[in-house]
Chains A and B, each alone.
Chain A
Amino acid sequence: MTTGDSRWSLRALADEAFCNVLGPGSHNTAVVLCALLFGASLGTMFTIDQDRLASRREASIQVGYNVVIIDAVSNDGNGGIVADSCRHLPRTTASGAVVTVNANVHVLQTGPVPMQLTFVDGLFRSSLTAPIAALPTNIVLPGLQRVTIQIDDSVRAYSLAKWPLPAPVGLDGNVLIPTVLPPGSLVKRCLAVVELKYVESAETLNLIAGSVRAFDSQPDVRFGTDGTSPVRVASDFLQRPQRLAPLFVGLFLGLLLALTHRTRVRELDAYRAVGTSNTELLVLLALENLLIAGFLVLGSVTPLLLGPIVGLESVSFSGLHLAGAPLVTLTAGALSGVRRVLALSFRVNP
């Protein structure tokens, strides 16, 4: 027998919450199962959704949606951009000047062919260790891996491969030749590969424009995929109806919790009958809600973790978003709990 004015210990309340949520035959069993089921559905939906988004973004990267073209614009066609100033532009992973010239080259395997040769300065120096040829399809032989091209008196072997770069946006030539332009060289075009996280920032183009030096001309800075629909992760997400799914799941579970609280009046009264205060009862309900929200998180996260195993890519953004459902559940459950606890008192029947 105990005496005195002691209170529930937090550990005892946590034990009670655990028993009330996970005990066999508990009123909360249905809520826990729903939390797991809805969480898993939510997680699966977002994993698939994010995988599609990642694929679209990858495809956009392949066509160069993060490539910025900087052209020198002048009324008389003179002037240009100082090639040196195109190196190391802000918010980019690579940048540099490009110079395209028309030439009549001799592909030894097929014969003479008019081609455009693109000399790249700085831009691809780290990723391009050898010149690359992207030949027109009508002269590519099946199974041909390398071609030998004679330009003027120079004969060189070129790898014949897909462009290993973000995209051939802004590169009009068939053959890429790394080069270092003399200091102070003026060019008509520079290219920059923008870091993905800055693609959606409006300031990016202004920063790049402010960093290049133009002579007798104005730099025209634009993304190379105008007219296409590049993936904007955040803005695309906010436009999709799926964004509301966590809210609805959270509200549904919150409603289920509220209904459960109603059916548990006798249980909650049992706590009140031993002198449990409103605060202690609220803590108990909050711990129960926290456990249930935990199952929602568990259900949500499992597909995200298992996704890569079955070849689905998931990104952290979905994980952050999924946190919304448990938060809504907790809020709705807490509101219901407060209402229920405040309604509990010794019933007076005058």
Chain B
Amino acid sequence: MLITVESLSVRYGNRVVLDDISFSMQSGTVVAIVGPSGSGKSTLLAVVAGELEPTAGHVRFAEAWDGRVSWIPQQSRHIGHRSTVSNAALGALSQGSDRADAKAAARRALEQVHLSEVADLAARHLSGGELQRLAVARALCTGHPIVLADEPTANLDKASAQSVACAMITIAKHGRLVVIATHDLAVADLADQVITL
């Protein structure tokens, strides 16, 4: 899928957050949006996700799409009392899979992000890095063509951040577009395309 951002501007009152930005993104790639805090990285993600109307400009999608995206937030979102595999399975369940198929897909995804050993552990027992990789596995299980990640490595040590970034690349290898808002240049270095705000 080709996504084209044309002359995009977002203002909050008198404050200009995004000013006349244009670029395009292609499926199967990792796109890093970098910039200092307050530069509009999250805002840009929200616009791409369709959660926020731009003040001016457009986001055009080359193919028909149901508007759903996978989301990997900075702070892990998970169901603490459920197992890791149950959490990852949410991705496939949201696509209409039955529970058995969803769990099988979740186990495969957990394997790809090296979380197989904790698959049956309650998610509340996972470390910060493991939770972020769980979020990646969950995104892997969805069929959404776009995966948006907002500072997914912000609270992680270097090794965990590297692991999460590699997991993102795994998603892109499945032919999906991964857009990462980050100020971690190490992560940006792994991206196929870097957009600086």
Contacts and interface: CB of A to CB of B under 8 A. Distances in A.
B158 to A, nearest CB: 24
B124 to A, nearest CB: 8
A24 B81 CA distance: 7
A266 B148 CA distance: 17
A274 B76 CA distance: 13
A2 B94 CA distance: 10
Contacts of B87: 270
Given A1-B143, A348-B42, A350-B38, A9 B82 contact: no
Nearest to B66: A5
Given A1-B105, A26-B81, A348-B51, A273 B95 contact: no
Given A2-B96, A272-B77, 4 more contacts: A1-B108, A2-B142, A8-B94, A271-B90
A5 B144 CA distance: 8
A250 B41 CA distance: 44
A2 B49 contact: no
9 contacts: A3-B95, A4-B95, A7-B94, A11-B98, A23-B81, A27-B81, A346-B71, A346-B150, A350-B10
Given A274-B90, A348-B43, A2 B95 contact: yes
A12 B77 contact: no
B80 A25 contact: yes
A276 interface: yes
A3 B145 CA distance: 8
B17 to A, nearest CB: 5
Given A4-B143, A273-B138, A274-B142, A16 B51 contact: no
Given A24-B81, A346-B46, A346-B51, A273 B70 contact: yes
Nearest to A28: B81
B26 to A, nearest CB: 18
B169 to A, nearest CB: 16
A274 B94 CA distance: 7
Contacts of B42: 346-350
A20 B71 CA distance: 21
Contacts of B68: 5, 275, 277
Contacts of B5: none
Interface in B119-174: 122, 124, 135, 138-144, 148, 150, 174
A274 B138 contact: yes
B82 A2 contact: no
A267 interface: yes
Interface in A80-104: none
Contact of A276 (B15, B94, B122, B174): B94
Nearest to B93: A12
**Nearest 5 A-B pairs (CB), nearest first?**
A275-B68, A6-B96, A25-B81, A5-B66, A3-B143
B interface secondary structure, majority = mixed
The residue in A266, A277, A350 that gathers the most chain B C-beta atoms within 10 A of its C-beta is: A350
B12 A275 contact: no
Interface string A16-38: 10011001111100000000000
Interface string B85-118: 0110011111111110010010011000000000
Given A8-B93, A269-B77, A350-B12, A1 B51 contact: no
Contact of A1 (B40, B71, B135, B174): B174
B51 A275 contact: no
A4 B86 CA distance: 21
A15 interface: yes
A2 B92 contact: yes
Contacts of A271: 90, 94
A127 interface: no
Contacts of A20: 79
A6 B97 CA distance: 9
Given A1-B105, A348-B42, A270 B90 contact: yes
B45 interface: yes
A41 B105 CA distance: 46
Contacts of B76: 266
Interface string A256-297: 000000000011011111111100100000000000000000
A273 B141 CA distance: 12
B135 A9 contact: no
A75 interface: no
